[in-house]
Structure 1
Amino acid sequence: MSFCYRDLISLFNQSFADTYNTRLELGDDEPIYLPADGQVAYHRIIFAHGFFASALHEVAHWLLAGEARRRQLDYGYWYHPDGRDAEAQGAFEAVEVKPQAIEWALSLSCGFPFNVSCDNLNGSAEPDRHAFRARVREQALHYLADGFPPRARVFMAALQRHYRRVPLTAADFSVN
Structure 2
Amino acid sequence: MQLLQPQPKVNTSSLVPTLPIWDSNLTLNHVQQALWPKDALEKTQVDWLILHFNAWFSHHNVILFKGEHEPEYFPAILDQSAKIQFAHGFFNSALHEISHWTIAGAKRRLQPDLGYWYAPDGRTQEQQQLFEQVEIKPQAIEWLFATAFGRKFRVSLDNLTGDGGDGSQFKDAVFTQVQAYFSGQVQLPRDASHFLQCICLCIRNGKSLQATEFTREILD
TM-score tier after normalising by the smaller chain length: over 0.9
* Equivalent in 78, 83, 97 of residue 44 of structure 1: 83
Please say if 1:20 is aligned against 2:71: no
After superposition, where does 1:101-140 map in structure 2 within 5 Å? 101-123=140-162, 125-140=163-178
Please say if 1:73 is aligned against 2:112: yes
Name the counterpart of 1:155.
195
C-alpha distance after superposition, 1:36-61 (max 9, x if no partner): 124x5100000011101100000000
CA contact 2:140–2:175 (8 Å) conserved in 1: yes
The alignment yields a C-alpha RMSD, in angstroms, of 1.3
Please say if 1:97 is aligned against 2:136: yes
Paired positions, count = 173
CA distance in 1, matches of 2:118, 2:48: 29
Greater mean deviation of Cα atoms: 56-65 or 5-14: 5-14
CA distance in 1, matches of 2:55, 2:89: 19
Please say if 1:164 is aligned against 2:204: yes
Q: In the alignment, residue 211 of structure 2 is paired with which amino acid?
A: A
Larger helix share, 1 or 2 = 1
Shift of 1:128: 2.6
CA distance in 2, matches of 1:69, 1:90: 22
CA contact 1:21–1:42 (8 Å) conserved in 2: yes
Please say if 1:173 is aligned against 2:214: yes
Shift of 1:164: 2.1
CA distance in 1, matches of 2:114, 2:164: 27
Shift of 1:127: 2.5
Percent identity between matched residues is 43
Please say if 1:11 is aligned against 2:52: yes
CA contact 2:103–2:138 (8 Å) conserved in 1: yes
Q: Which runs of 5+ in 1 are unaligned?
A: none
Q: Which runs of 5+ in 2 are unaligned?
A: 1-37
CA contact 1:11–1:159 (8 Å) conserved in 2: no
CA distance in 1, matches of 2:72, 2:183: 30
Q: Secondary structure at the match of 1:33?
A: strand
Q: In the alignment, residue 166 of structure 2 is paired with which amino acid?
A: D
CA contact 1:120–1:127 (8 Å) conserved in 2: no
CA distance in 2, matches of 1:43, 1:127: 36
Name the counterpart of 2:102.
63
- Structure label with greater radius of gyration: 2
Between the two structures, name the one with larger relative contact order (CA 8 Å, sep ≥ 6): 2
Q: In the alignment, residue 169 of structure 1 is paired with which amino acid?
A: Q
CA distance 1:47–1:41, shift in 2 (3 Å): same
Task: Give runs of ≥4 in structure 1 deviating > 6 Å.
Answer: none
CA contact 1:84–1:120 (8 Å) conserved in 2: yes
Q: In the alignment, residue 25 of structure 1 is paired with which amino acid?
A: F
Q: In the alignment, residue 83 of structure 2 is paired with which amino acid?
A: R
